Amino acid sequence: MIILENRLIRLEISEIDGTVRGIRDNVRGIEHIADTGTADPFRLETDAGFSSSFQNFGWSRENTEDGTDQVRLSWDTQEGMIVTASVKLAEEADCIEFRCAAENHSGTRLLGLEYPVIPNLTTITEHGEEDYIAHSFATGFEVNNPMKVFETDGIGFRFMPYPESFSGATMQFFAYYGKDRGGLQLAALDGEGHPKWLNFFKNGNGLLEASVIHGCSDMGPGKGIKPHYPVQVSTLSGSGWYEAADRYKCWAVQQKWCRRGKLSERAAKEGSPWLHEDMGAATFGINAGSDRTAWIQKYHDSIGTPMLHILGPDWTHRPQTFGSGVPGGYDDWFPTRFNPENIALIRKLGHRFAPFEFDYLYHFDGADGELGRAAEQKFPELKKSVDAYRFPFLCPAHPYTHDFHVRRDTALQQSDDIDSIYYDISANNILKICMDDSHGHPVGAGSVIEEAYRRNYADTKAAMCETAGRYIPMGTEMMNETMLDLIDYYQARAGGQPAAPLEGWPIRELLKTGAAYLIPMFTYVYHEYGALRLDGWGKLTEEIGELYYFTVARTYLWGGLYELNYEYSPMEALDGNENTAEEHYYPFEPRGYAFSANRADYLALYARLRIGAAKPYWSYGTMLRPLSFDVPMTPLKWFHYNHGKDTPEYNNSGELLIDAVIHSAWQNEQEDVGLFFANVTGEEQTISFELRPEDYGKTTVTGQLYTTAGEPAIDCSMEEGGLRLLKLPARSIAMLELTSP
C-alpha cells in the first residue's frame, strides 16, 4: 500500500492499480472509505464512453524541501494514452492535493478525464441518520442521509457540470459530513472557469463516491488534457456546511470574478444603488405587449415600495413565446412592441423594468438565418448533464454572435430607454462546450466558450451604458461564480420549491419529503460581492398555500427579493377579471384566483423592511453563521400550478414540514451585526437562544419587532438561565442589532 500520512490525515493508495483505498481522519478516528468493493483509479472519456482500463501502472515517491510528501502515479492504456497524477500531503496540512493529466498518443478523441476518484465512502454517523451532502448544485442544496436516499443510476449528484448553475455546480466545492462527527470537503481551485463536473453519487457497490471530471478544451485526435489547477480533499469537523464554505471563501474572493470589489463600494460609483437599495420586490413575466396597468398599480398601492418588473418576452417584432419559437436576426427583433401605458406607469411610480430576452436562442429560418446557422452551437452526443440542451443556441465564440449580441441590445437601449436587461437560458445554464471548430475555436473549446460569454456580456453592457449615459444592470437566469463581476442580479426558483419549477427538479421528490432542502451556500460565500437574487415564484392568492409565508420570509432573510411570477398562469383576478391566455405568451388555463390583500400586506412587511432598517444587511451585508437554537416544526400546505401543463409538477400539491421560525445573521459595512427571526406561522412562537454581544466584539443589543399591525420595540435584555427569550407574534419578524457606542 502507498501511504501518505501526517498527524491529521492518512491516505492509502493501492500499489497494484493506483486506486484510492483509504482516507482516515487521524484527529477524529474516522475511516471514510470501506475496505471492500471495487474501485477505478481514473476514468478516461472518449467517443466510445468511459474506460478505466490500463496495461501498465507505476509509481514513485519524493519528499520536497518544504516537508511535502508527494507520490507520482502513471498508467499506460491499451489505446496509447498515458494518465499521470501527483498526490501531495504537506507536513501539517489537513488536505490532500491531487493533480492529473492525460497524454494522448492515439488517433482517439479524448473528451474528459475523471480524477481523483474517491470511491466507496461510508456513513459517518450511525446508519447515516445525521450525514449530509452539501453541494453547490443550483446555488446550494443539502441532502440528509445520502447513503439511504441516493440511488445507483438514479437520484444523486452525478454529472454535475461547472460552470452551469441550472443543472450543475455554481461553485467548485461540496462537503460530505456527519453532524458533530467529521467529514470531507472536495474543492477544485480553478480561477479560470475551465469546464469540469463535481460529482457525489452512489456507485455500483452501493456506496458513495466523489470525483471530478476535467473537461478537455481541445478534443482533436492526439490531443491530451492537463488541468492547471489542484483538487483538494480536506477533513472537516462536522460543524455544518458553513465550515466548508468558509474554507472555500478564503480562496474564492481572491479570484477575478471578485475583482470589482464589494458591492457597497461600487454601487454608488457605478450607478446601480437603485437596484440594491430601492427595490422592495420584483415581478417576472408580466406581459410587455398588453395593458397590465391595473395590476401594476395594485401592486404598488398594496406593497408600497418601488419594484423591478422583468417584463415577459412578448415585446419583439417576431413573436418570442413559449411554444411558437424565438426571433432570428436583427430584423426579427425590431421594431419593438412594448405597451406604452405599462412603461409610462412604471416610470410614474418610480418602478423599474427590464425586457426578457432569450439572448442566445436563434430562429435559424428567420432573419439572417444563414449567418445564425453558421454560428450554431454544437454539443457532444454525451453531454454529462441532467439537461439535454435541446434549444437552438448560438455559439458565443463565433464573431457573428458577438456582433449581433452587442448590436441588438444597444439598439434596444436606444429605442426604448430600458432600465435594465434580463437574459434567459443564457451563459449560466448552458454547457460550456461547442464541437464546431469552424467558429475559430478548438473542438470542445471549454474555457474559450466561457471567456466568449464574458466578453459578449462585457461589451454589450459597455455599449448599452454608453448609449444610455448611465449604468444599465444586467441580469440572467441563474448564476455562477465566474460571472459575478459582470452580472448584477439573477432569477432563481429553488427558494419556492416544491411550489416552484426548474432548478432542483432532479431531487424534487426529496425536496417534497424534506430530505433535501435549499441552503444559502452561494449567498454565504458571495453576497457582499453580488449578485442580487430574485426568488420565490409566488402569487398574491390564497390558493398557492401557506408555504408562501415561509418562502417570502426566507427569501428576504437570505438577502433576496421576492418574485411574483406570471409566466405559466394568469395574474391575480382583480374584481373578478384576470388576464387572458390569448394575450399571453403561454396558453395557460384560466384560474379566477382573487388578489389577496392579506398576502400583499405580508409581502409589503418584508419589502419595506428591505429598503428600510434591514437595507445595510440585506443589500450589502456579509452573511454570518446563524445562531443555534431549538425551533419547533410546523406543516404548511402548498399548491403548484404556475408551470407548463405538460410537466409532472403541474398542479402538484402537498404539505411540507418546515421550521416555524427562520433565522439569519448578517454583518454590515460598519461591522454591526443584524440578527433576524421570522415567525412564518399563524400562531405566536417563543424561542430561546444564547446571545453574547461580546462574541461579536459588541456591547449593546437593541431590537425592533415588525408586524403588519405596527412596529413596536422589543425587550432584548430578558434573560433566564443565561438565555434570551423572544416572543414572536404570528407572521412577524424581529430584528436585533449588536452595536458598540
**Amino acid letter, residue 139:** T
Distance (Å, whole) CA 448 – CA 426: 16
**Structural contact between residues 201 and 150, judged by C-beta atoms closer than 8 angstroms:** yes
Taking the C-alpha atoms of 143, 149, 154 and 157 in order, what is their torsion angle to the nearest 10 degrees? 20
Distance (Å, whole) CA 548 – CA 619: 22
User: HSE (CB half, 13 Å, CA atoms) of 35?
Assistant: 4
**Structural contact between residues 449 and 432, judged by C-beta atoms closer than 8 angstroms:** yes
- In the β-sheet with 161-162, what is the strand arrangement from edge to edge? 49-51, 43-46, 110-121, 208-215, 196-202, 161-162
| Burial letters 158-176, b for 16+ CB under 10 A, else e | bbbbbbbbbbbbbbbbbbb
**Structural contact between residues 307 and 353, judged by C-beta atoms closer than 8 angstroms:** no
| 3 state DSSP class of 703 | strand
Task: Output DSSP code: residue 437.
Answer: G
**Structural contact between residues 32 and 45, judged by C-beta atoms closer than 8 angstroms:** no
- Would you state the pLDDT for residue 137? 98
Distance (Å, whole) CA 288 – CA 337: 8
Closest CA to 520 of 663, 689, 706: 663
**Structural contact between residues 233 and 118, judged by C-beta atoms closer than 8 angstroms:** yes
Distance (Å, whole) CA 510 – CA 8: 35
Cis peptide before 163 (omega within 30 of 0): yes
Closest CA to 253 of 665, 622, 666: 622
**DSSP secondary structure letters along 275-286:** IIII--EEEE--
| 3 state DSSP class of 404 | helix
**DSSP secondary structure letters along 669-688:** TT--EEEEEEE-SSS-EEEE
Q: Where are the alpha helices (DSSP H) in 590-739?
A: 597-610, 615-618
**Structural contact between residues 88 and 96, judged by C-beta atoms closer than 8 angstroms:** yes
**Structural contact between residues 164 and 138, judged by C-beta atoms closer than 8 angstroms:** no
Give the DSSP H/E element, type plus range, for residue 508.
Answer: helix 508-513
- Would you state the pLDDT for residue 121? 98
- Would you state the pLDDT for residue 543? 98
Beta bridge partners of 209: 201
Name the pairing type of β-strands 169-178 and 131-137. Answer: antiparallel
Q: Where are the alpha helices (DSSP H) in 212-348?
A: 241-252, 263-270, 273, 293-303, 340-348
Distance (Å, whole) CA 321 – CA 646: 16
Place of cell 430584423: 331
Beta bridge partners of 677: 663, 734
Give the DSSP H/E element, type plus range, for residue 454.
Answer: helix 447-468
Average pLDDT, consecutive stretches of 10 residues, N- to C-terminus, the chain (741 residues): 97 98 98 95 96 97 84 96 97 96 95 98 98 98 98 96 97 98 98 97 97 96 95 98 98 97 93 96 98 98 98 96 91 98 98 98 97 97 93 97 98 98 97 96 95 98 98 98 98 97 95 97 97 98 98 98 98 97 96 98 98 98 97 97 95 98 97 98 95 92 93 76 88 96 82
pTM of the complete model: 0.97
Instruction: Compute how many other C-beta atoms are within 10 angstroms of the C-beta atom of residue 84.
Output: 18
CA dist 99 → 85, 259, 274, 482, 525 (Å): 5, 27, 45, 22, 25
**Structural contact between residues 117 and 235, judged by C-beta atoms closer than 8 angstroms:** no
User: pLDDT by residue (tens digit) across 536-572?
Assistant: 999 999 999 999 999 999 999 999 999 999 999 999 9
CA dist 644 → 362, 587, 675 (Å): 22, 9, 39
Distance (Å, whole) CA 500 – CA 446: 31
Give the DSSP H/E element, type plus range, for residue 526.
Answer: helix 521-526
Closest CA to 221 of 115, 77, 114, 111: 111
**Amino acid letter, residue 227:** P
Contacts of 513 (CB under 8 A, 6+ apart): none
- Would you state the pLDDT for residue 64? 76
Distance (Å, whole) CA 664 – CA 627: 8
Q: What structural domains does the chain harbor?
A: 2-252 (2.70.98.10), 638-739 (2.60.40.1180)
**Structural contact between residues 555 and 277, judged by C-beta atoms closer than 8 angstroms:** no
- Would you state the pLDDT for residue 669? 95
